[in-house]
Structure 1
Amino acid sequence: MKNSGFAAAHLGMLIWALLIAASFSAAAQISQAIDPVLLTGLRLLVCALMFLPLLLVKGDTAMTARGLFGHATLGLLLALYFGSLFEALRYTSAVNTGTLFTLVPLLTLLFEALLVPDSSLKQRVLPMLIAAAGAVLLILKGAGPGERPSLYAVSVYGVGCLAMALYSPLSQRLKTNSFKGRGPVGMTFWNMLFGAVFLLVLCGFTGGWRSASLLTLSDVCWLIYLALFATLATFWLLHRAIGVIAPSSVISYIYLSTLFITLFHWLRRTPLPQEIIGALLVGIGMLALLLSSRRAVPATVQG
């Protein structure tokens, strides 16, 4: 692997973390009366449609039955994650779901060991644990005294976290057979299209589609912004990095996103001691992870 490809992949994921962090403020601008599953389904659909012209220009539309099944599986994992998140948020707080999400990179490492094993796996365990501990400190600053998530919420969102953890390693595994030769544009388009279909079908059963009548022009503009920058760009950067750096290293950038959100808050208030310790742990863990992934040899090289 060339150093330029390695550097570009990590720089892309740094931008990914910034875009994810900025998306929370943008998402808050959309009316809370609109069904969140419907909004996510529309975001994925808009993104897929935006990628369609580029897909046609690149001529990456050929699809085998195995490839179609693979994209449907990855799209289902996306739908499972977002569906479980919104269901869990009905019974617990964003703080609790955020804390549980810190397990996703570690679960990704487990799936990576099963699907795309390599000799550098053990080197990433300690850095990820350090970064995860820091992220937990940053997230738990908003927890109320005695606040505990319900068993139902943990179970439902736990399934979603497993789905998200499986997404990156399975993507890399499929790149070596069913998706061989398929670039980030094709991967992003088909996965998002299937994810959107599954979520919109779910809205049809739950009745969430009725809230579409509440969409205003402002909501539509923010939806397009989120689709373009918080979904389309981030998923393209994600698939661009998968195969160049290990899947667990890729998803670990969510810890850096948590740090960026905290840094944004520091612009308006004085940081708490707990936040400073958490920020330092995230920084140390991500630096160690960067160094360990630089020594690793990737299973596949992104084309």
Structure 2
Amino acid sequence: MKNVGFAAAHWGMLIWAILIAASFFAAAQVSQSIDPILLTGLRLLFSALMFLPLLLLKNTSPISGKGLLAHAVLGLLLATYFGSLFEALRYTSAVNTATLYTLVPLMTLFFEVFLLPSPSLKTRLLPMSVAAIGAVLLTLKGSAPGQLPALYPVLVFGAGCLAMALYSPLSQRFKATALKGRDPVTMTFWNMLFGALFLLVFCLFSGGWRSALQLSTLDIGWLMYLAVFGTLATFWLLHRAIGVIAPSTVISYVYLSTLFVTVLHWFWLRQLPLMIEILGAALVGIGMLALVLSSRNARAVTA
């Protein structure tokens, strides 16, 4: 696969951060009476089917049994993340799920130590930590001032965040072995198709499919939006950047996403930012700038 340029990868991830921020609010608009696992399965299925025409037009080599297994593992991680997001949103706010998601880059760095060891890992820890602290200051709040999120959604979405943290480094590890030469379109299609199949099969056994009768036209509209912008576009941008910049740096753009979520929250509720939120925004900006600059230096050294 021909990699995109360094600057193009970072610009793509900036767009990724904006789309992720918007997806938290869009996901919260879907009816809470519908089974979250069914919603997630439909979302991934819609996304995969939209990539199918592109896949059919490309001359790709046949997928081996090991390749299908690798896609199945990555699809399971996607299913775990998205399913936990919809379930957590039943009990907590979009802002709180965005707060928990800020832990994903540090978790990714931890998995990267074992899956993709590199001398540059240490240089990313400090700027990632600074940005993470800033992101937490921005959004650590419950449904009322001073109230922390409930334990259940924290545990549920925490498991999903672990799955997402493992996704990027494991994906890059597979690209060097079982999925060598796979482009972003192929990776996104197969991973999402497997994720959708896992979730929809689960719904058949759990009975969650019955709630499909409660889907309104508005719900389907939000699901289509999430499929195109919150899932398909973001994971294509993610795979486009993986391999050009390190997985933990790629996923660290969630810190900018958290900043965008908070800014949207200010405008949505017409609230003036608190001093602690201004401090958090500054830390996010400083941490991300340092992280991008360090990733450029690391690339120059290894080139």
TM-score in terms of structure 2 length: 0.90
Find out whether 1:118 has 2:133 as its counterpart.
no
Structure 2 contact 98–258 (Cα < 8 Å) conserved: no
Unaligned runs of 5+ in 2: none
User: CA–CA distance in 1 between the matches of 2:193 and 2:254?
Assistant: 23
Note if 1:160 corresponds to 2:160.
Answer: yes
The one-letter amino acid of 2:135's match is A
More off after superposition, 163-172 vs 57-66: 57-66
Cα offset for 1:177?
Answer: 1.1
Q: 1:223 to 1:157 in 2, by over 3 A?
A: closer
3-state SS of the aligned residue for 1:182?
Answer: coil
Aligned-pair RMSD on alpha carbons?
Answer: 2.4
Task: Encode CA deviations 1:63-104: one digit per residue, 9 max, x unaligned.
Answer: 100100000000011112223344455566655544333221
- Change in 2 beyond 3 A, CA 1:63/1:205: same
Shift of 1:61: 6.0
Which residue of the partner structure matches residue 44 of structure 1?
44
Q: Are 1:292 and 2:294 matched, yes or no?
A: yes
Percent of paired sites with the same residue: 71
- Partner of residue 275 from structure 1, selected from 270, 274, 277: 277
Match of 1:149 in 2: 150
Determine the C-alpha separation between the residues in 1 that align with 2:24 and 2:105: 20
CA distance in 2, matches of 1:53, 1:3: 22
DSSP-derived class of the 2:60 partner: coil
Q: Distance in 1 between matches of 2:19 and 2:147?
A: 32
Aligned pairs, how many? Answer: 298
CA pair 4-78 structure 1, distance change in 2 beyond 3 A:
closer
C-alpha deviation, 1:37, in angstroms: 1.8
Q: Deviations over 1:130-149 (max 9, x none)?
A: 11101111111446435353
What is the distance in 2 between the residues matched to 1:199 and 1:219? 18
Q: Name the structure 2 match of 1:245.
A: 245
Please, which moves more after superposition, 208-217 or 66-75?
A: 208-217
For residues 144-176 of structure 1, what are the alpha-carbon distances to aligned partners after superposition, in whole Å with 9 as ceiling and x for unaligned? 4353533x5544443322211110000001111
Q: Distance in 2 between matches of 1:291 and 1:52?
A: 37
Q: Is 2:256–2:284's contact at 8 Å kept on the other side of the alignment? A: yes
Partner of 2:107: 107
Counterpart in 2 of 1:73? 73
Is the 8 Å Cα contact of residues 81 and 157 (structure 2) preserved in structure 1? yes
User: Following the alignment from structure 1 to structure 2, what is the Cα–Cα distance between the partners of residues 159 and 3?
Assistant: 31
Structure-2 change in CA distance of 1:215 and 1:176 (3 Å): same
- Please list, as runs of the form range in 1=range in 2, the aligned pairs for 1:1-303 lying within 5 A after superposition: 5-60=5-60, 62-89=62-89, 96-142=96-142, 144=144, 145=146, 147=148, 149-150=150-151, 153-267=153-267, 268-297=270-299
1:40, distance to aligned residue in structure 2 (A): 1.4
